Chains A and B, each alone.
Chain A
Amino acid sequence: MNLSPRQKRFGLIAGGVLVLCIAAAFVLNAFNSNLVFFFTPTQVLNGEAPRNKTFRIGGMVKTGSLQRDGTRVSFVVTDTINDTTVQYIGLLPDLFKEGKGVVAQGKIDVLGVMTASEVLAKHDENYMPPEAQHALDKAAQARAAQSVKP
């Protein structure tokens, strides 16, 4: 091939742009199908959460709701107004406790029970997962709005 320097440079740039475009398309596609959205128990009860897609739920672990059967556990996540039951197989994170904040990720069945693939670990006892805090805040707002109405 006898290409002039200008043609070579053009070829290189065109090739680079093509590679970039393919990569960008590929990245955005992967990105789109892997977003995990977050919902509160109230939103789940209202049917806002997707059925066959993984999502996250956050709130407090309801006191007295933790049940263990071997490595299979089930507990209730509450935003103080509504509850969602979560089932999980495996070791819970160190800081998992009743009455404390939690975030679980998984899919929900027709009965509204979540089968979690992941229960999120926290790093500090004084720390509340932002998603869990968000759920409680929303519930508190809803309650405040209701108490004003009548």
Chain B
Amino acid sequence: MIPELGQFALILATVLSVLLGVLPLWGTLNRNTVWQSMARPAAFLQFALVLLSFACLAASFLSNDFSVKYVAEHSNRLLPSAYQFAAVWGGHEGSLLLWVLMLTGWTAAVALFSQSLPLNMVARVLGVLGLVSVGFMAFILITSNPFDRLFPIPADGRDLNPLLQDPGLVIHPPMLYMGYVGMSVAFAFAIAALISGRLDAAWARWSRPWTVIAWSFLTFGIGLGSWWAYYELGWGGWWFWDPVENASLMPWLVGTALIHSLMVTEKRGSFKAWTVLLAIAAFSLSLLGTFLVRSGVLTSVHAFATDPARGVFILCFLAVVIGASLTLFAWRAPAVTLGGSMGLVSRESFLLLNSVLLVVATGAVLLGTLYPLIIDALNLGKLSVGPPYFNLVFAPLMVPLLFVLVPGTVSHWREARLNDMFMQLRWIGLAALLLAIGLPFVFGEWSAGTALGVFLGMWVALGSLQHVFERIRKPGRIGGSFWGMHLAHFGMAVLVLGITGVKSFEVERDVRMSLGDTVSIAPYTFRLVDMVDVNGPNYKAMQAHVEVLKNDKVVEVLYPEKRRYFSSAMPMTEAAIDSGFLRDLYVSLGDPIAGDTPSWSMRVYYKPFVPWLWAGVLMMVFGGILAALDRRYRRAAVSPLQTAGEALSSTT
């Protein structure tokens, strides 16, 4: 009964999304305000229905209703109930339902927080979001219904993939989806502005907080995914340039370009066409990411779908979205006026460089991700593009990006003077340079790459700090967007320093260990003291007790495990990690090795600065949230006349 209720609610929501996608937009064409004003209630009702549908699926999971095929395939009586709930999005169908829940949630949020927007703009934005919902709900109902029944009813379910039984999984997909789907709001604002033909500062101001919030979620989601891979896969890596990771990185890169470009559009009225294109690209790349990850063209822990109809559906949807928005763009863009003039050296030109570099980086990642798939699809052979390509391409693009970040934040709009900027930044430049020369010696060997990384990280960090101190000394209230920007930039600096540190100084040892054996990575010594059997709720594990000694004193005991889940023959490495301020100690347990005395293969890592990666990501996330909560976005309705006046006054 409950699954049927869920399906019924989903069908109703689909019908409602068709209404939401058609009526308000139609109302804006024939100036029918009644139809336009239907957008808000429709958005709320649509969200409520999808929420009900989602709750029904969750209830089926928690009540072990294995007559539902999706539940039987992804849950198990022994599975702890927190994971039973998380298993709702542990497979293809449920994760799509989560996606739609997020989408309708964003739609409802826009309806709720758009009181200051003109009615016809609200109608257009919600209408576009409704159309996007139609696509996804149709996708679920036609190709991937999570409420399909199974007969005969199995006694027990097949269990969730053990890799996914982890707290990281509980929050990683929802956060990532919030980001992906949030890009649809930026997209909807851009399309609505194109339809109305009013690409102005007001549009950029409405769009900015939504885009920044979506960007924050995306950042958090990617960070969580990386963190999960780091401690769960047992390989000690945190970024593999796996196509699945690239699929989330591409919208992030374009989204980063978008939030910076939106600023220029809001403050200066320039880059309008470019901003719209970035918004379309960010959403299209989110869809492409969904296609890549969910269609089964990539094989990974994320690829659930094996049904080719699903891949074809997403691909068609992608084609419709990109085709329709670019057609609209081509039709409307010529009417877009150019903004105020800009100097060769100005904040605009720095932000333009930011956009270009980020877009080129996206293109490079896109090439490396899609090329093997295209070659394979055309039957021209099988090949892969490995991490060396991405590292080789990505680093040189990020170097100038990080370098111009600092002058970009302190320069003036319109026309900046190189001489002034040099005088302002020379001391922090010198300090960053000295630190770059000196610091690598403290942690190990000096190399040019390490020094460059330290220089860029310090340059950005010191640049942000200096700007903040200078601003504090001046009178006047400081807005949330100022703090947000500098917190996010500082987070970027911490991330860069972390990446530099771990890439330069990590040590890895693969060893064979018997009880009592030690392995040293200065200044630490790891000693295997015991090996015991452990029983978990739905697995059995072999657990090693590894003492970590520093100066002959035990500072920590680590417990890496090798688990074997009952429901599958699949073994799982559960690494043990000790985190400090400057380093992680990481031990993962391998297979037993046959011999006279029992011994095991072990992998021991000394991973400096890994906690800095997560700290940097968190700072970026909070920076984004702070910026989005800036008070000026919550001002009451602004009439077009006022905005025009503001645009004028800000140019003088």
Are A and B associated in one complex?
A: yes
A interface with B by C-beta (< 8 Å):
1, 3, 5, 8, 11-12, 16, 19-20, 23-24, 26-27, 30-31, 34-38, 56, 68, 70-71, 89-92, 94-95, 105, 121, 123-125, 127, 129-131, 134
Q: How far is the CA of A6 from the CA of B396 in the complex (A)?
A: 31
Q: How far is the CA of A19 from the CA of B361 in the complex (A)?
A: 12
In the complex, which residues of chain B have a beta carbon less than 8 angstroms from the beta carbon of A91?
510, 588, 590-591, 601-603
Q: Are B299 and A31 in contact (CB under 8 A)?
A: no
Q: Tell me if B384 is interfacial: C-beta within 8 Å of chain A.
A: yes
Chain B residue at minimum C-beta to C-beta distance from A129:
B299
Chain A residue at minimum C-beta to C-beta distance from B512:
A70
Once A8-B341, A16-B356, A95-B571 are accepted as A-B contacts, the answer to whether A27 and B393 lie under 8 Å apart by CB is yes
Q: How far is the CA of A36 from the CA of B234 in the complex (A)?
A: 25
Name the prevailing secondary structure of the B interface residues.
mixed
Q: Are A27 and B360 in contact (CB under 8 A)?
A: yes
Chain B residue at minimum C-beta to C-beta distance from A37:
B383
Q: How far is the CA of A125 from the CA of B158 in the complex (A)?
A: 13
Q: Tell me if B367 is interfacial: C-beta within 8 Å of chain A.
A: yes
Count of interface residues, chain B, beta-carbon cutoff 8 Å: 51
Q: Are B386 and A71 in contact (CB under 8 A)?
A: no
Q: Are A20 and B364 in contact (CB under 8 A)?
A: no
B interface with A by C-beta (< 8 Å):
161, 163, 233-235, 299-301, 341-344, 349, 352-353, 356, 360, 363-364, 367-368, 371, 381-386, 388-389, 392-393, 396-397, 510-512, 568-573, 588, 590-591, 593-594, 601-603
| A31, A90, A94, A134 — most chain B CB neighbours (10 Å) | A94
Q: How far is the CA of A134 from the CA of B364 in the complex (A)?
A: 28
In the complex, which residues of chain A have a beta carbon less than 8 angstroms from the beta carbon of B381?
37-38
Once A68-B594, A91-B603 are accepted as A-B contacts, the answer to whether A34 and B349 lie under 8 Å apart by CB is no
Once A8-B343, A123-B163 are accepted as A-B contacts, the answer to whether A19 and B385 lie under 8 Å apart by CB is no
Nearest first, the 6 A-B pairs at minimum CB distance are: A34-B389, A38-B382, A123-B301, A91-B590, A30-B392, A70-B512
Question: Shortest Cβ distance from B362 into chain A, in angstroms?
Answer: 11
Q: Are B352 and A27 in contact (CB under 8 A)?
A: no
Once A20-B360, A30-B389, A123-B163 are accepted as A-B contacts, the answer to whether A71 and B594 lie under 8 Å apart by CB is no
Question: Shortest Cβ distance from B161 into chain A, in angstroms?
Answer: 6
In the complex, which residues of chain B have a beta carbon less than 8 angstroms from the beta carbon of A31?
364, 367-368, 371, 385, 389, 393
Name the prevailing secondary structure of the A interface residues.
mixed
Q: Which of B300, B510, B571 contacts A90 (CB 8 A)?
A: B510
Q: Are B349 and A56 in contact (CB under 8 A)?
A: no
Chain A residue at minimum C-beta to C-beta distance from B564:
A94
Q: How far is the CA of A123 from the CA of B160 in the complex (A)?
A: 12
Q: How far is the CA of A94 from the CA of B356 in the complex (A)?
A: 42
Chain A residue at minimum C-beta to C-beta distance from B382:
A38
Q: How far is the CA of A68 from the CA of B342 in the complex (A)?
A: 67
In the complex, which residues of chain A have a beta carbon less than 8 angstroms from the beta carbon of B512?
70-71
Q: Which of A8, A23, A38 contacts B360 (CB 8 A)?
A: A23
Excluding A23-B360, A92-B591, A124-B570, 6 further A-B contacts by CB distance (< 8 Å) are A20-B360, A34-B392, A37-B383, A94-B572, A94-B573, A134-B382
| B356, B384, B386 — most chain A CB neighbours (10 Å) | B384
Question: Shortest Cβ distance from A76 into chain B, in angstroms?
Answer: 18
In the complex, which residues of chain B have a beta carbon less than 8 angstroms from the beta carbon of A26?
393, 396
Return 24 A-B CB contacts under 8 Å, by A number. A3-B344, A11-B344, A19-B356, A20-B356, A24-B360, A26-B393, A27-B367, A30-B392, A31-B393, A34-B388, A34-B392, A35-B385, A70-B512, A90-B510, A91-B510, A91-B591, A92-B590, A94-B572, A94-B573, A123-B300, A125-B569, A127-B299, A129-B299, A130-B299
Question: Shortest Cβ distance from B404 into chain A, in angstroms?
Answer: 12
Q: Are B363 and A27 in contact (CB under 8 A)?
A: yes
Chain A residue at minimum C-beta to C-beta distance from B240:
A121
Q: Which of B352, B388, B392, B603 contacts A16 (CB 8 A)?
A: B352
Q: How far is the CA of A90 from the CA of B234 in the complex (A)?
A: 13
Q: How far is the CA of A71 from the CA of B396 in the complex (A)?
A: 36
Q: How far is the CA of A27 from the CA of B572 in the complex (A)?
A: 37
Q: Are A94 and B570 in contact (CB under 8 A)?
A: yes
In the complex, which residues of chain A have a beta carbon less than 8 angstroms from the beta carbon of B343?
8
Chain B residue at minimum C-beta to C-beta distance from A96:
B591
Question: Shortest Cβ distance from A44 into chain B, in angstroms?
Answer: 14
| B301, B386, B572, B590 — most chain A CB neighbours (10 Å) | B386
Q: Are B389 and A37 in contact (CB under 8 A)?
A: no
In the complex, which residues of chain A have a beta carbon less than 8 angstroms from the beta carbon of B235?
121
Once A16-B356, A38-B384 are accepted as A-B contacts, the answer to whether A27 and B510 lie under 8 Å apart by CB is no
Question: Shortest Cβ distance from A106 into chain B, in angstroms?
Answer: 12
In the complex, which residues of chain B have a beta carbon less than 8 angstroms from the beta carbon of A24?
360
Question: Shortest Cβ distance from A132 into chain B, in angstroms?
Answer: 11
Chain A residue at minimum C-beta to C-beta distance from B158:
A126
Q: Are B593 and A70 in contact (CB under 8 A)?
A: yes
In the complex, which residues of chain A have a beta carbon less than 8 angstroms from the beta carbon of B384?
35-36, 38, 56
Once A30-B389, A35-B385, A125-B568 are accepted as A-B contacts, the answer to whether A89 and B573 lie under 8 Å apart by CB is no
Question: Shortest Cβ distance from B67 into chain A, in angstroms?
Answer: 23
In the complex, which residues of chain B have a beta carbon less than 8 angstroms from the beta carbon of A37?
381-383
In the complex, which residues of chain B have a beta carbon less than 8 angstroms from the beta carbon of A95?
570-571
In the complex, which residues of chain A have a beta carbon less than 8 angstroms from the beta carbon of B364?
23, 27, 31
Q: Which of B344, B367, B368 contacts A12 (CB 8 A)?
A: B344
Once A23-B360, A27-B393 are accepted as A-B contacts, the answer to whether A125 and B382 lie under 8 Å apart by CB is no
In the complex, which residues of chain B have a beta carbon less than 8 angstroms from the beta carbon of A56?
382, 384
Q: How far is the CA of A101 from the CA of B310 in the complex (A)?
A: 26
In the complex, which residues of chain A have a beta carbon less than 8 angstroms from the beta carbon of B588?
91
Chain A residue at minimum C-beta to C-beta distance from B235:
A121
In the complex, which residues of chain B have a beta carbon less than 8 angstroms from the beta carbon of A131?
382
In the complex, which residues of chain A have a beta carbon less than 8 angstroms from the beta carbon of B591?
91-92
In the complex, which residues of chain B have a beta carbon less than 8 angstroms from the beta carbon of A19?
353, 356, 360
Q: How far is the CA of A76 from the CA of B604 in the complex (A)?
A: 27
Once A16-B356, A27-B363, A91-B588 are accepted as A-B contacts, the answer to whether A36 and B594 lie under 8 Å apart by CB is no
Chain A residue at minimum C-beta to C-beta distance from B381:
A37
Question: Shortest Cβ distance from B411 into chain A, in angstroms?
Answer: 15
| A5, A23, A90, A127 — most chain B CB neighbours (10 Å) | A23
Q: Are B593 and A68 in contact (CB under 8 A)?
A: yes
Q: Are A94 and B234 in contact (CB under 8 A)?
A: yes
In the complex, which residues of chain A have a beta carbon less than 8 angstroms from the beta carbon of B590?
71, 91-92
Once A31-B367, A68-B593, A123-B163 are accepted as A-B contacts, the answer to whether A5 and B382 lie under 8 Å apart by CB is no
| A5, A31, A121 — most chain B CB neighbours (10 Å) | A31
In the complex, which residues of chain A have a beta carbon less than 8 angstroms from the beta carbon of B367?
27, 31
In the complex, which residues of chain B have a beta carbon less than 8 angstroms from the beta carbon of A92?
590-591
Q: How far is the CA of A30 from the CA of B371 in the complex (A)?
A: 14
Question: Shortest Cβ distance from B55 into chain A, in angstroms?
Answer: 29
In the complex, which residues of chain B have a beta carbon less than 8 angstroms from the beta carbon of A70?
512, 593, 601
Q: Are A125 and B570 in contact (CB under 8 A)?
A: yes
In the complex, which residues of chain B have a beta carbon less than 8 angstroms from the beta carbon of A35?
383-385, 389
Q: Are A12 and B573 in contact (CB under 8 A)?
A: no
Once A12-B349, A125-B568 are accepted as A-B contacts, the answer to whether A34 and B385 lie under 8 Å apart by CB is yes
Question: Shortest Cβ distance from A114 into chain B, in angstroms?
Answer: 16
Question: Shortest Cβ distance from A131 into chain B, in angstroms?
Answer: 6
